[in-house]
A and B are shown apart, each in its own frame.
Chain A
C-alpha cells in the first residue's frame, strides 16, 4: 500500500523553474467577467491559474478549496464582486465570513496562508485581475510545491488492494 500517486497532477519541475498550479474560483458576474475583460483587452498574465466559474462567490464551498489542495493544487484563488456590489445583493459577504474561518483552519492544517488569496474584482477590473494573478503566482512560487498527498477522502477514493503476505 502506498500513497504515491500513479499520476502526478502536474509536471512540477523543482527549484527555480517551479510553476505553481493554482485553482481559481470566480463568480459569474464580476470576477469571471474581469477575466473575460483581461482577455478582451489582451492583457498578459501568468498561465498558472485555472478558473472555475460559480454563479456567485457565495457558492464557494470550503470543500472545493480543500479538494483543490488535496488534489495537488499549490494555491487557491477565490474571487468575487466587491463588497456591496454583489449581483446577489450580499452573498459575497457570506463567502467572506467563511473565507476567514477557512483560513484559520488551513493554517492549523499547516498550509501557508499565502497559498490562499481573496480577490475582489469588478467586471471592469480586468487589469487588476491580471495584475493580482501575477502577484499571486510570485507570492506562491517561493513557497515551493505543496504536493499534498493525493487522497480524495475516505468515501470517494477506491482503495488499492495488495497481496497480503501470509
Chain B
C-alpha cells in the first residue's frame, strides 16, 4: 500500500450563511469520524475560514499535523479557491493539493431543509476528500512574452489601444480592412451629447496613430491566420495591393481628381454619395495614400484609361502591384473589429428600400454631415425638398425577438441627436417613437431634457408600420407612421415627410469566423465573449487575446475608448512581466499508449494537438492547451490524461459523493 495521505477538512460557518442552515459542527465531526479510512486526520469548523485567522489555522495544521492535502468546505471555488490555495502555498504545501467544496452556494443558500442540507454537505465533503487524494502537485507553466502587440480594427477602440501601447514604448501593428483607419466614428457628423464635431476629435488621433514611430499601420489588410499562443503568436496578414506605391505617393489627390470613373460609395457614404475608382475614403484619411478599387477601375476592366498614372506627378501608380503576405510575431492581440448596422430591409413593414424617404441612421449621419453628399443639407431623397415633419423610429431591429433581442445601447442617444439636428437645421417638427428612453451615461439625461425643451414630440410606442397607403385626409403624399401612443392608449397615424430608422448594431457578418480564427468564442448573438462580463470585460478565454469596443457588444464612443485603453493596460502589464504563468490544468498524451488512431486530432479548437506522422503518435502542445479536457474524455485508449481533472479524481469524487466505501452509521433522525 502506498503512502497514505494526511488530509485536513475545514468547514466554514461563513457567519450564519452556512451555519444557519447546515449543522457545521455535525458535519465536521462526521468527517473526522467517518472519513478516517480516506485519510482525514483532522477536521475543524470555524466561523470565517477565509479570514486571516482561518487561513492561519489551516497553515498551522499543515505544519503541525503534517497535512498533505487540504479540503475546505465553504463557498464557491470561484470566490475563494485562490485564497485557500495561497494559504497552502504559504505553508509550503503545493497549492493544487487543496480542494474547495461549495456548501454555501450549493447547500445552505439553496436549501431550506436543514437535515437534508447537512446530509448533502457531508456527501459533498466526502466527494472532495475522495478527490483530493488524487490531486498532484502542479507548477504553473511559464512562457516568455513577445513585446509587440497586434491590434485588429482601426476604429476608435483600436486606435486608442494602439496609441496607449505605442506611447508606453512598445511596438504595435494596427491592421485595418478599409483603406483608412477611423472606423464608423469618421462617418459621423456630431457626437452625443456634447455635439462635438466627430471628425475634429477623431482626426488628431488618427494622425497620431499614422505617424507614431511605434505603430506599423497596415490598412487595406486582413489577418488570414493566427498560430502560436500567448506571448508567441505568429500572425499572417494579407496586405492587399493598393496599386499605389506608398514610397512615392505624396497623397496630393490629383489622381482621384482626374479619375473618370465614379462609383457609388456604399461603405463610407452609406450609399448616399459617390467616390472615384481610385480614392481615399474621406479627405482626412490616414494613411493619405489612395487605393485603386480594381473591381471598378476601367483599366482593370478594359485595359485602357490609366488617367491616374498619366497625371501622377511622382509616378506612384503601380498597376502590377501584388498582395503582400506578412508574418508578424506578437505577444498579444487586441480585437477591435467593431459592428455592422442592422439591415433595416429585414423589417419589411418599415418600408426601407421600398419607401424612398425612409432613411437609416447611417444614411442620416452622412446626410447631416457638412462633408457629406449634400453638404449637410437635410433633404428628402429627391435631393432638394426639406422635410417639414420627421419621424425617428427607435429600436429598429433591437429589443425584438424577431431580430435581435438585445438593446443596442446607442440608439436612444443617437435618435435624440438626430432630432436635435433636424430641428436645428430645418425647423421641422420631429417625432421620436420610442419604447423606453435610455440615457444612462454622463450628460445623457440632460441632453434628453434639452430635447424635451426644444419641443420634440415623444410618442411612447413601438412603431407598428410605416405606409404610404392613404386613409385619412392630410395623409396624401406623406409617409404614415402607425403606432399606439401607449401613454394614452390611442392608435395614431402620424403623417411625416421623412422617417429615420435608428437601426441597431449587429456583430460583423464574419464575427464567427473571426472568433474561430483567433480561437475565442462568440455568443449566440455573435458578439465576442469576454472572460467575465463584470470583472474581466476585455480579456477573453484565450490567453493573450483581448477585445475592445463594439466587437464585444454595442457601446458608445466613450465606452469603446475606455475598453481600448483597458485592453492596452492589461497587455502592458503582461509585457512588463516578460513572461506569463499559465494555469497548469493541461492535457498530455502518454506516448507509449497512444496508437495514433487520430480520434483526438480534430477535437481541439485551439489546435493544441499535433500528430507526428513519423512516429504515428499525437502530442499536446501544453502552451496551446486550454485544459478543457475534451480530448481526455474522447481518447479511446485512455492515453490522454488531464491534470487537475483526472479520471481518478473524478471517479473517486463520484464514489465520495455517493458515500461508497464509508461505513454506515446510525441514520440522522
Contacts and interface: CB of A to CB of B under 8 A. Distances in A.
Given A38-B105, A50-B123, A88 B76 contact: no
Contacts of B667: 11
Contacts of B515: 89
Contacts of A42: 109-110
A39 B657 CA distance: 20
Interface string A1-13: 0000011111100
A88 B626 contact: yes
A82 B524 contact: yes
Contact of B523 (A55, A67, A85): A85
B632 interface: yes
A111 interface: no
Given A36-B105, A58-B633, A10 B120 contact: no
B124 A50 contact: yes
B521 interface: yes
Given A36-B78, A39-B110, A44-B110, A94 B659 contact: no
Interface stretch (B416-424, B466-474, B642-650): B642-650
B69 interface: no
A10 B655 CA distance: 12
A130 B110 contact: yes
**Size class of the B contact interface (CB-based, 8 Å):** 35 or more
A152 B648 CA distance: 13
Contacts of B109: 39-40, 42
Contact of B642 (A36, A59, A82): A59
B348 interface: no
Given A36-B78, A42-B109, A130-B110, A56 B659 contact: no
B347 interface: no
A142 interface: no
B628 A56 contact: yes
B529 interface: yes
Nearest to B667: A11
Contacts of A38: 105, 110
Interface string A123-157: 10000001000000000000000000010100000
A113 interface: no
B523 A84 contact: yes
Contact of B605 (A21, A73, A89, A98): A89
A39 B103 CA distance: 10
Interface centre among A55, A56, A83, by most B CB within 10 Å?
A55
B76 A23 contact: no
B107 interface: yes
Interface stretch (B111-119, B281-289, B361-369): B111-119
Contact of B106 (A35, A60, A67, A68): A35
B653 interface: yes
B125 to A, nearest CB: 11
B629 A36 contact: no
Contact of B630 (A35, A58, A72): A58
B11 interface: no
A18 interface: no
B658 interface: yes
Nearest to B124: A50
Contacts of B533: 123
B76 A36 contact: yes
Q: Which of B105, B606, B651, B655 has most chain A Cβ within 10 Å?
A: B105
Contacts of B123: 50
A73 B642 CA distance: 25
Nearest to A42: B109
A52 B653 contact: yes
A55 B541 contact: no
Given A7-B663, A59-B645, A89-B516, A51 B654 contact: no
A121 interface: no
A83 B512 CA distance: 13
Interface string A40-84: 101111010011111110111111100110011100000000111
Contact of A54 (B117, B521, B650): B650
A56 B629 contact: yes
Nearest to B633: A61
B661 A7 contact: yes
A87 B606 CA distance: 12
Interface residues of A, number: 58
A33 interface: yes
Contact of A85 (B104, B111, B524): B524
A52 B654 contact: yes
Contacts of B658: 9-10, 21, 23, 68, 71-73
A67 B173 CA distance: 52
Contacts of B664: 6-8
A22 to B, nearest CB: 10
A36 B100 CA distance: 14
B77 interface: yes
Contact of A47 (B117, B522, B628): B117
A58 B628 contact: yes
B627 interface: yes
A43 B109 CA distance: 7
Given A7-B663, A42-B109, A94-B634, A47 B116 contact: yes
B454 to A, nearest CB: 39
A7 B659 contact: yes
Nearest to A153: B651
* Of listed A47, A55, A63, residue having the most chain B CB within 10 A: A47
Interface string A83-112: 111111111001100100000000000000
B334 interface: no
Contacts of B77: 53
A55 B659 contact: no
A142 B587 CA distance: 41
B537 to A, nearest CB: 14
Nearest to B118: A47
A88 B105 contact: no
Nearest to B661: A7
A94 B117 contact: no
B127 interface: yes
B662 interface: yes
A8 B661 CA distance: 9
A47 B109 CA distance: 11
A89 B650 CA distance: 23
Contacts of A61: 632-633, 647, 650
Contact of B660 (A9, A32, A40): A9
Contacts of B397: none
A44 B123 CA distance: 19
Contact of A90 (B124, B524, B605): B605
B629 A52 contact: no
B507 interface: no
A98 B653 CA distance: 22
Contacts of A89: 515-516, 519-521, 605-606
Given A23-B658, A44-B110, A59-B642, 11 more contacts: A9-B658, A29-B541, A36-B78, A39-B76, A39-B102, A51-B106, A55-B644, A58-B630, A61-B632, A88-B521, A89-B605
The 7 closest A-B pairs by CB, nearest first: A39-B105, A59-B629, A58-B630, A56-B628, A89-B605, A88-B628, A61-B633
12 contacts: A6-B664, A39-B104, A40-B105, A50-B123, A51-B106, A52-B657, A55-B629, A56-B628, A85-B523, A88-B605, A89-B521, A94-B630
Interface of B: 76-78, 102, 104-107, 109-113, 116-117, 119-120, 123-124, 127, 515-516, 519-524, 529, 533, 541, 585, 603, 605-606, 626-630, 632-634, 642, 644-645, 647, 650-651, 653-655, 657-664, 667
